[in-house]
Amino acid sequence: MPFVLGYGAEDLAGGFSHRYDTSRLVERLNADWYDLALSLGLFDYRREFLVQLPQGTRSHRATLQHLHSGNTAPALWTRVRLLDRWDIMGRGAASAFLGVHSGHPGFGMMALDGSVYVAASTGETGIDVLVVHHPDRSQNVLRHLEWITRYDSPYVNREFKERIAVWLVGRAGGLPGR
């Protein structure tokens, strides 16, 4: 699945929110993310999953600036493994690829089989982490992806648009894994 956007409240299968003033914020975010990811099936038996990373050398922060300028930034899924020592919401978010800085995550993650999508975002007062089950079956998500392929704007990345169109055609054609 090229991208997950446009889901509605009816597509959500779980999630949590924490205000920025939550005591031991990063520790709480990490614990809640792990519990949610484990309980809803983000990891396979080797603790592998997909993380959506900005294409090229763009950091999450640069991607956000690009998005807020009206451009749609393409991103690619990258297969990763959760190691024994991890800190997604602290060091991971501070790396600029999983967030803006420590305690301010921003990412999309998906189970290898596409059955679970986890999104984290920072807001005005806190952090939200949401889970969408089977985003490839969500009418809201599919409608939004179709809209992107039809939207004609100089700000929409053509390669991203084409990648979505190819995925939608393959899905409609019943190709394996779609």
Give a yes or no: residue 142 inside a domain. Answer: yes
Residues of the chain with pLDDT below 50 are 56-58, 68-71, 174-178
What pLDDT shows up at residue 55? 54
Give a yes or no: residue 178 inside a domain. Answer: no
What pLDDT shows up at residue 177? 44
Give a yes or no: residue 79 inside a domain. Answer: yes
* Buried-exposed string 114-142: b where 16+ CB fall within 10 A, e elsewhere: bbbbbbbbbeeebbebbbbbbbbebebbb
Residue range(s) defining the domain that contains residue 114:
9-172
Give a yes or no: residue 4 inside a domain. Answer: no
What pLDDT shows up at residue 107? 93
Give a yes or no: residue 1 inside a domain. Answer: no
Q: State the pTM of this model.
A: 0.81
What pLDDT shows up at residue 59? 52
What pLDDT shows up at residue 69? 45
Residue 85: both structure tokens together: 């020592």
Give a yes or no: residue 3 inside a domain. Answer: no
What pLDDT shows up at residue 148? 86
First-to-last CA distance in the chain?
7
What pLDDT shows up at residue 96? 77
What pLDDT shows up at residue 70? 46
Give a yes or no: residue 34 inside a domain. Answer: yes
What radius of gyration do the chain's Cα atoms show?
16
Give a yes or no: residue 14 inside a domain. Answer: yes
Structural domain tally of the chain? 1
